[in-house]
Amino acid sequence: MSQKFILPSRLLPWPICWPGVVLIAESEACRLVVYKDIAGHWTLGWGQTAGITEGMTWTQTEADADLCNTLITLSAEVRECLTRDASDNEFAALVSLAYNIGMTAFRRSTVAKCHNRGDKTAAARAFHLWNKAGGKVINGLVARRAREAALYLSEDRGQKTEDSQLPALRAANQQSSVLSPLSSEPGQSPDADPVKPLAKSPTVQTGAASVATGGLALAAQYSPQVGQVARSLAISPLVVAAIVAIVVGALVIWRRVQQRKGGVA
């Protein structure tokens, strides 16, 4: 069932640029009668769950004010995480991500880390890491991450251009609802860790296995008394193979770490 198109009041003291407010509002959607989200939490307004109980209702004015107040608090927290300045559009995209995934996740996110070290391309790419809910890729989250990354990369052009962006923003948000009705439900948050920790990465595990295998081979060759100093330096081919295994495994792990730092899943 499609929902009525609606935006919050533009007259409120929004702490981020208007395209960012539009992105958040249309991604979350607004409900004025309390309901349970997919996680079973009572939810109201623009996805608010804090202090919400059964039977509550809000007016549109109350819902808009709640969103504005939430973004004011959230914007201050996001700004505290940044060690590098952000343009209006960059900042709005970062706040949108934090609104969706929560500040705990945002603080440790690759997006924040890449932004702080000045790697804008990697930061934009890293938005796409947060595309899962319940362990599954959600089309609506894929679409939202794409819009956030695009906003993050876009040039700040002033108020007039912001108004002209609204039709495209509306069309993009409506498309995300068509892609996945479930994802348009307010309160649906991405997984706390949308990508596997490096320790669980198959690539890293393969590299670690290579290092471990090489290490065991070396240990076997160099005992006792370090293999009598590797048989007076007449080193066995097995030792050479073990050293190669360790080097290759270490390179595999190093490469995967660099990919993760670059925002690649």
- In angstroms, the CA 263 to CA 246 distance is 26
Start-to-end Cα distance in the chain = 33
Nearest C-alpha neighbor of 95 from the set 169, 150, 15? 15
Quick: pLDDT tens for 79-123.
Answer: 999 999 999 999 999 999 999 999 999 999 999 999 999 999 999
- In angstroms, the CA 33 to CA 26 distance is 17
| Architecture in CATH of 18-184 | Orthogonal Bundle (1.10)
Higher pLDDT, 174 or 126: 126
Mean pLDDT throughout 127-141?
92
DSSP 8-state secondary structure symbol assigned to residue 48: B
- In angstroms, the CA 243 to CA 218 distance is 8
| Full-model pTM | 0.66
State the pLDDT at residue 202: 55
Quick: pLDDT tens for 15-66.
Answer: 999 999 999 999 989 999 999 987 788 999 998 998 999 999 999 999 999 9
Length of the chain: 265
Higher pLDDT, 170 or 118: 118
Higher pLDDT, 170 or 157: 157
Give me 186's structure tokens: 């307010």
Mean pLDDT throughout 166-178?
43
Q: What residues have CB less than 8 Å from 27, skipping those under 6 apart?
A: 96, 100, 140, 144, 147, 173, 176, 184
Residues with catalytic annotation? 28
Average predicted confidence (pLDDT) for the chain: 76
Q: Spell out the domain ranges in the chain.
A: 18-184, 198-261
Quick: pLDDT tens for 221-231.
Answer: 555 554 565 56
Mean pLDDT throughout 162-168?
49
pLDDT of 185 over the 90 cut: no
